Each structure stands twice: as C-alpha cells, then as structure tokens.
Amino acid sequence: MDREELKKILPHREPMLLVDEAELKEENLAVGKYTVKGGEWFLQGHFPGHPIVPGVVQCEMLAQTCCVLLADSVRGHLPLFAGLDKVRFKSPVKPGDTLEMSCSLVRSRPPFYFAKGQGRVNGKLAVSAELSFAIM
C-alpha cells in the first residue's frame, strides 16, 4: 500500500501520516517503511545541528503500521493508543534513514488490541515496543 491506499484505512493525514508504504506480509505480520527526508516538523528543534527522530514519533510510526493488521476493524473507526509498554530505543533514526517496521498482533479483546513492533535501520534495531489500541 502506498500513502493514498493507507489513507483508506488510517484517519491520519499529513503531516501526521508517518508511513510511506506498508503491506500485510503474512496473516499476522505487517511491515511498513518511512524514509526520513530531513525537513519534517518533528525534526525542528530536535536537535539543532543533530536532528534525530523523537522516540514518540517512532512509536507512532509503529502504531500506524500496526493498523494495517487491523484494517477491517480500523476502516471507518478511530484507532486510539491505549498504552505503550517495554519501549526501547537502541539507535538513533536520522535524516536519510529508512525505518523499516514490522508488527504483529499478540491478542485482542475488542475493542482492545495488543501488538508488538520493531523498527530497524539497515537491519539494526532502532526501536521496539508493545502497543495497545482501542478501536472506537
């Protein structure tokens, strides 16, 4: 899915649509990519001279990728973060990097869904987290 196809699932729009492309690889594996261009709003002031994608933005990128797993449940509804657990940042994500995300669903009790995700740059782990959502 490209950005236009993602807009059919996600309620997010620019500048908060933070996935360039995503797809369902297996029944329970969604992968997504975002290339950091350098002029994004979230890099302004974080940090002057040494821009790094904020951790909370990386978590949002993972969450948006997770929504591909929940496409049928999310379409026409509002996916809201319910929690983040075991979040770890292992290496910085900088302009020019492509964050490659992978997410899988761990369990569900509608309207709540629980997932885990990882983001890697050039195969190196940058972020990992357990995420929970409420589909409203």
Give me the CATH number covering residue 55. Answer: 3.10.129.10
Amino acid letter at 104?
S
Give the pLDDT confidence of 111-130 residue by residue, as tens digits: 999 999 999 999 999 999 99
Range of the domain at 131: 3-135
pLDDT digits (tens, 9 = 90+) for 7-18: 999 999 999 999
Q: Is 46 a catalytic residue?
A: yes
Q: Is the pLDDT of residue 76 over 90?
A: no
Q: Are strands 21-26 and 29-35 parallel, antiparallel or unpaired?
A: antiparallel
- By CB atoms closer than 10 A (0-12, 13-18, 19+), residue 49 is exposed
Of 12, 46, 50, 77, catalytic:
46
Mean pLDDT in the chain? 96
Tokens 């029944």 belong to residue: 27
How many angstroms separate the CA atoms of 72 and 32, rounded? 18
The number of distinct structural domains making up the chain is 1
| 4: Cα separation from own chain's centroid | 16
pTM for the model:
0.95
